[in-house]
Amino acid sequence: MTTEHVNCLIIGSGPAGYTAAIYASRAGMKPVLYQGMQPGGQLTITNEVDNFPGYPEGVNGPQLMMDLEQQARRFGADIRYGVVTAVDFSGPMHKAVVDDQQEISANVVIISTGASAKWLGLPSEMRLNGLGVSACAVCDGFFFRGKDVAIVGAGDTAAEEASYLANLCRKVYMIVRRGEMRASKFMQNRVKSLPNIEILWNTETLEVLGEDGVTGALVKNAVTGEERVLDISGFFVAIGHQPNTAIFKNYLELDETGYIITEKGSTRTNVPGVFACGDAQDNIYRQAITAAGTGCMAALDAERYLAMKEVEMHAEA
């Protein structure tokens, strides 16, 4: 296994990682960024992004990520293909293994591995992803104004997104697998009070219909066995996200769902010199712009940490 030492290692790309690379490069930290299994993150499978500042006509997700990557490269960021498969944060020097072949040691580490939406696992759902199937109502609901849509889920996030869609869409079918919801009473009452939301209890989705875009969903009532087709243009999945943080669990404090815990008002983790940004530590907002903001914060926090360590080193000398 080959070894290499870097000053600043960024694990993961997307808005958080690329923004961290931009700021770290401009600060002279010479960052090395490994893009991970999905270079550019979740936005690379998003067709249209209308809510990222600076694009008055909107931009497609892959183009936005290419723009951010090119901006980071312009300032000297060393952006590489590769997946960090293991880490060791037990010593004073932080270590990471890339593709099980190379060991990288770093003075500071910025984690921007993101989170992945949980899906139902239907082939048609995957085929129509970005063509009417979405895991983010706030991101994509705008494109379905005045149309009929469906959303799957029974928790607070699903209820909140159903309410959001109800303000935009003509009709919202909320598909709930059981005869009750996991959402808080407040959120349940909110959903039930909206006249254009129809809750389909004890219902599962069999297939998302459509060739070049969503035209409907085939659902089945688990109690009666009745199948019906919902005439919809959009199909939203809100059954949760899984943060991509498993390789850090032996070293970093995670919450009960796997999100990295950071100090309030910063990106600092429980390990000095290790910082987390983007959806890997954000289980609330999960937006491209908030991810970019925390990427900026992580680079600034890392820069201050390095400056502090340099002062301490000179004081000891």
Beta carbons within 8 Å of 7's beta carbon, 6+ residues apart? 29, 30, 31, 106, 107, 108, 306
- pTM score, two decimals? 0.80
pLDDT of residue 44: 75
Question: 41: pLDDT confidence band, cut at 50, 70 and 90?
Answer: confident
Greater pLDDT, 217 or 136: 217
Hey, how many other C-beta atoms are within 10 angstroms of the C-beta on 147? 17
- 3-state helix vs strand vs coil in the chain, percent to 5: 30, 30, 40
For residues 233 and 147, is the Cβ–Cβ distance under 8 A? yes
Three-class SS state of 221: strand
Instruction: Say yes or no to pLDDT of 49 above 90.
Output: no
**Among 29, 20, 32, CA closest to 81:** 32
Active site residue 100: no
Domains of the chain: 4-116+241-316 (3.50.50.60), 120-238 (3.50.50.60)
Distance separating alpha carbons of residues 106 and 95, to the nearest angstrom: 6
Range from 152-161, 198-207, 209-218 carrying the lowest mean pLDDT: 152-161
Amino acid at 257: T
**In angstroms, rounded to a whole number, what is the distance separating the alpha carbons of residues 278 and 287?**
9
**Residue 41 corresponds to which amino acid?**
G
296 is annotated as an active-site residue:
no
316 pLDDT band, cuts 50/70/90, is confident
93 phi, psi to nearest 5 deg: -105, 125
Asked if pLDDT for residue 317 goes beyond 70, the answer is no
CA-CA distance, 207 to 224, in Å (whole number)? 18
Please pick, among 50, 100, 140, 148, the residue that the annotation labels catalytic.
140
Catalytic residue among 8, 139, 169, 277: 139
Task: Exactly one of 8, 136, 169, 277 is catalytic; name it.
Answer: 136
Annotated catalytic, 169? no
